[in-house]
Structure 1
Amino acid sequence: MFHHARRSLARLVLIAVHTLRRRQSVLVTVYLANDPLAMLTGYTPGPPITLADRFDLDLTPRLADTALLERVFARDTGGPDDIVLGRIFDALNDHPEPGDEHLTARWYRGGRRPLSVGDVVALGPRHYACAAIGWEPIARPN
């Protein structure tokens, strides 16, 4: 039994290493809500939002980690977008994961406030509003 588990783990590590070789990234666009009540009420279409930052985020290591965890624990982690949005939220609230410190430094060097409820993050063409708990998919804001 131990050998079977060790073999399975070795196979998963090889899959993760293979995944790491293919660099994947996503264009992230962050919009901040101008309405101070958005922190209480959440995002609503209509009120203007301000483009705060746009950057290319390397997903390669995290996708390999996610694939490995999903295979080991046979569970759904909420999908890659939830993981990426969590990374962005942590980094733009001064709690970056290891390797994302450059995002935090870049964000605060620009004099921006922390990411909060009512703000919008786009991962490529997909847009999400920061909610009190988690993220809500939304149509592209005007």
Structure 2
Amino acid sequence: MASTIASITIPVSAARVWQLIGGFNSLPDWLPYIPSSELSEGGRIRTLANPAGEAIVERLEAFNDKERFYSYSILKAPFPAKDYLATLRVKPDGEDAAVVEWSGSFTPVGVGDAEVVQLFHGIYADGLQALKETAMAESA
């Protein structure tokens, strides 16, 4: 099993950042790669569309509003991986800043560990940068 983690510091309070990303259906609000998201099964399953129109289906595995994190697995996606489990977490960094971590573990399918780690690390790092830009623009 392979894994990766990306993190970023955002000069916006952890409460405000969590407000932006804490909803399981909120990816289109801050992640340009995901133009749409639909919830089903009582909000536990989200079906995302990527720019190529491919479906990504994910299941909410854990959610903790107080500690500001949620974990999800991938049920279906155009990625060369299985057994995917990721966590998105917001931690306070003083009163007016937050550290956001996006981590995941997965088993590569048909490719080496390094290739899948690079793929997901790129998604996480680019996503967190987009989050930072969105959060800063909304708090300006």
TM-score of Structure 1 vs Structure 2, range by shorter chain = under 0.3
Larger Rg: 1
Q: Which structure shows the higher helix fraction? A: 1
TM-score for both structures, normalised by structure 1: 0.27
TM-score for both structures, normalised by structure 2: 0.27
Q: Which structure shows the higher strand fraction? A: 2
Question: Which protein, 1 or 2, shows the higher relative CO under an 8 Å CA cutoff with sep ≥ 6?
Answer: 2
